[in-house]
Amino acid sequence: MTATRYPCLADRAVIITGGASGIGAAFVRAFATNGARVGFLDLDTTAAAALTAEIAATGAPTPVFIPCDLLDIPALQHALATLHTHLGDAAVLINNAANDRRQDFPDVTEAEFDWSLAVNFKHHYFAAQAILPQMQRLGHGSIINMSSIAWMGGGPRMQAYSAAKAAVVGFTNSLARDVGQYRIRVNAIAPGMVITPRQRELWYQDESLIAAGRARQCLPDPIEPEDIANLALFLAADDSRLITKQCLQINGGAR
């Protein structure tokens, strides 16, 4: 199957948080392949270096990587300012970084709760706040916030994570209302069961769990990181110019 290419994305500056691995790395590859000038943030410097070298070897524009702990909001703001010096005004922001660590509800401390909301939502808010003036100068932009179907279906041992991912959608809807006048669109993506290497290592060592998840889908095929990236390309491109304030699910029709 051949993915659609979007000439309108060529030479546009695209910022991606959590871009070194998993779905984030698929975002970085997809936008670079479409000729975008990509900047991404992550803590995993080894994976980021390997991804940057991989993309550079293809002849696509080499991404700019800035290491950053997204829990440190001043550090996030500084990293985004640094990316601006390299790339100029950003036309696309993908708030991707997250951590779906399972928690036993009776034992969750206030610090653990705060950590979950910070790593899964807070940086979305402040990254958008930092990038918005750049999009206003351009006169257009696309902000894509990563949510999850976990808050819709009630993922077990994921109460704080689910609350954060529901907050992402509320934030998306409210921000879209305020910035539409500048032709800036704000949407969310809620993936279903995407088995990245991290997911397999932590939560899906048992193949029967994967089979059970796939059995709940209408479509039998696994959901790949590239499937999520293909939707992000569309939401970032001019082809979706009148799509905003939406949360789009990619779950194979899961129930």
Question: Dmax of the chain from CA atoms?
Answer: 51
* 190-208: burial string, b at 16+ Cβ within 10 Å, e else: bbbbbbbeeeeeebbeeee
Q: Which residues pair with 95 in a beta bridge?
A: 145
**Which one from 125, 161, 182, 204 is the annotated catalytic residue?**
161
The sign of the dihedral angle between the CA atoms of 159, 208, 232, 152 is: negative
Q: How far is CA 240 from CA 150, 182, 244, in A?
A: 26, 15, 8
Q: Which two tokens stand for residue 248?
A: 């789009």
161 is catalytic: yes
Distance CA 226, CA 54 (A): 16
H-only helix segments in 110-206: 110-117, 123-138, 150-153, 159-179, 197-202
Report residue 6 as tokens. 């979007």
Token pair of 40, please? Answer: 């991404």
Active centre residues (catalytic): 161
